[in-house]
Amino acid sequence: MAQSPYATLNPPRRILMGPGPSDTHPRVLAALGAPTVGHLDPYFLQVMTETQVMLRQLFRTKNELTLAVSGTGSAGMEACVVNLIEPGDKMVVCVNGVFGGRMADVAGRAGAQVTVVEQPFGETFPPEQIAEVVALVKPKVVGIVHAETSTGARQSLEEISKIVHDAGALLLVDAVTSLGGIPVEVDGWELDAVYSGTQKCLSCPPGLAPVTFGPRAIAAIEKRKTKVASWYLDMTMVRNYWGQDRAYHHTAPINMNYGLREALVLVLEEGLEQRWARHQKNHLALKAGLKALGLNYAVPEGKQLPMLNAVLIPAGVDDAKVRGMLLNEFGIEIGGGLGPMKGKTWRIGLMGETSSPRNVLVLLAALERCLTSQGAKVTPGAGVAAANAAYAG
Ligand SMILES: *Cc1c(COP(=O)(O)O)cnc(C)c1O
């Protein structure tokens, strides 16, 4: 046998504190390596059924059409849009960050007549603004991002949902970063179509997109006059594979689904409420520590996401050098700014497995070193001390 010129795969061990992917639990990695079975094997069909039951618990919904789309979070976005939209349909998309912008792009490609409503990056949408635009446009669908990972802003949805439904429209929600980290109440808030991703607060590697469609969304899909523009993401066919019929559509990524199943078991073992509380507790400790290091949040108080902490880079500090030092000397990944925030913010993720006191304290200690090496004035130990005080209090 010829000697391979390639070394055995041996990725570095990182602490993933960026905007995703997040750290994975060893049980999820082990599940990914379990023996592959066929996509119609009774064992796999049971895995699918169990995954659906657990996804409904996470989404807090009774929606029958709840499943994992084969593809990353963006595939979930595309799946929702192409199934709800027919060419010429009106869609309002709320854009206050990169992912709202992506949804508007996807909607336009699907043939929607798109109306974009905007807020500055870091801000959120007041219900009155949505009320005004739906009254004017009379859209079929309103799309909005629950947790804008590009800015760290948290959008409240309950009032907007009422407004959208009173106007006879459907509410499509991006819950890629929120699911598993903060409450996502699909039935309680009457969200019509929601998509998420495995790689953020579910702490499974990127590769699947949990989605759920409520009764209004299904009625809209069943009333379509045209075929769904994407064959791969057509829910009228995919649902026959995940539903009673188990009809072959595409070969499900078997081992990715094992990984998601195990990640969902871990979420439910912890308990959803406990998981939300853990994300909040570690966020508050990190926030106290960052403040003590002289770093300010880019999002106003009260609108900050616990799993994505966007802070302003202090004047005179080199963005790339600090992120490079964190990665190379400490094995810690954090994210840079996106879009207009490029070079202005760091995005520090505390998602799923990553959200722990250990990681908060290590990051604050390492960041102190990086800031000091950049000539920033930092009181030695202040970040770690403030975070410890937050944990103690
Ligand atoms: C990460 C993310 C996406 C895209 O998910 P991918 O897994 O990168 O395809 C979409 N929306 C939001 C809010 C995200 O954070």
Question: Domain holding 288: CATH number?
Answer: 3.90.1150.10
In a domain, 169, yes or no: yes
Q: What is the pLDDT of residue 6?
A: 94
Indicate which residue's Cα is closest to atom 5 of ligand 1.
73
Q: Could you report the per-residue pLDDT of 345-358, keeping only the tens digit for each?
A: 999 999 999 999 99
Q: What is the pLDDT of residue 361?
A: 98
Separation between Cα atoms, residue 227 and residue 237, nearest integer Å: 11
What's the pLDDT band for 244 if we cut at 50, 70, 90? confident
Could you tell me which of 198, 168, 200 has the C-alpha nearest to residue 182? 200
Separation between Cα atoms, residue 362 and residue 358, nearest integer Å: 6
For residues 329-341, give the mean pLDDT.
96
Q: What is the pLDDT of residue 1?
A: 73
Enclosing domain of residue 70: 26-269
- Cα–Cα separations (whole angstroms), residue 89 to 105, 133, 336: 15, 16, 36
CA of 263 to the centre of ligand 1 (A): 18
Could you tell me which of 85, 92, 308 has the C-alpha nearest to residue 201? 308
Q: Are residues 228 and 255 in the same domain?
A: yes
CA of 386 to the centre of ligand 1 (A): 32
Q: What is the position in ligand 1's atom list of the atom closest to the CA of 146?
A: 13
Pocket of ligand 1 (CB under 6 A): 20, 72-74, 77, 99, 145, 147, 149, 174, 176-177, 197, 199-200, 206
Q: Are residues 63 and 86 in the same domain?
A: yes
Number of domains observed in the structure of the chain: 2
CA of 197 to the centre of ligand 1 (A): 7
The last residue of one of the domains, among 269, 304, 339, is: 269
**Could you tell me which residues come within 8 angstroms of residue 301 by beta carbon, excluding any fewer than 6 positions away?**
none
Q: Are residues 265 and 330 in the same domain?
A: no
Q: What is the position in ligand 1's atom list of the atom closest to the CA of 198?
A: 7
Q: Are residues 244 and 131 in the same domain?
A: yes
In a domain, 20, yes or no: no
Q: Are residues 339 and 231 in the same domain?
A: no
In a domain, 17, yes or no: no
Let me know if 115 is exposed, middle or buried by CB neighbors in 10 A (0-12, 13-18, 19+): middle
Q: Are residues 259 and 345 in the same domain?
A: no
CA of 139 to the centre of ligand 1 (A): 24
What's the pLDDT band for 159 if we cut at 50, 70, 90? very high
In a domain, 16, yes or no: no
Domain of 159, CATH number, reads 3.40.640.10
In a domain, 185, yes or no: yes
CA of 11 to the centre of ligand 1 (A): 23
Mean pLDDT over the full length of the chain: 97
Q: pTM for this structure?
A: 0.98
Q: Are residues 317 and 219 in the same domain?
A: no
Backbone angles phi, psi at 286, to 5 degrees: -60, -45
For residues 140-168, give the mean pLDDT.
98
Indicate which residue's Cα is closest to atom 14 of ligand 1.
176
Q: Residue 2: pLDDT above 90? A: no
For residues 190-219, give the mean pLDDT.
98
**Could you tell me which residues come within 8 angstroms of residue 47 by beta carbon, excluding any fewer than 6 positions away?**
257, 258, 261
Neighbours of 393 (CB within 10 A): 8
In a domain, 122, yes or no: yes
What's the pLDDT band for 161 if we cut at 50, 70, 90? very high
Q: Are residues 216 and 167 in the same domain?
A: yes
Q: Are residues 77 and 175 in the same domain?
A: yes
Q: Are residues 228 and 261 in the same domain?
A: yes
The last residue of one of the domains, among 269, 300, 319, is: 269
The last residue of one of the domains, among 239, 269, 299, is: 269
Q: Are residues 92 and 192 in the same domain?
A: yes
Separation between Cα atoms, residue 211 and residue 382, nearest integer Å: 43
For residues 38-55, give the mean pLDDT.
97
**Could you tell me which residues come within 8 angstroms of residue 274 by beta carbon, excluding any fewer than 6 positions away?**
none
For residues 46-73, give the mean pLDDT.
98
Cα 280–chain centre separation: 16
Q: What is the pLDDT of residue 320?
A: 97
In a domain, 207, yes or no: yes
Q: What is the DSSP string of 74-112?
A: HHHHHHHHHHH--TT-EEEEEESSHHHHHHHHHHHHTT-
Q: Are residues 106 and 223 in the same domain?
A: yes
In a domain, 377, yes or no: yes
**Could you tell me which residues come within 8 angstroms of residue 189 by beta carbon, excluding any fewer than 6 positions away?**
157, 158, 161
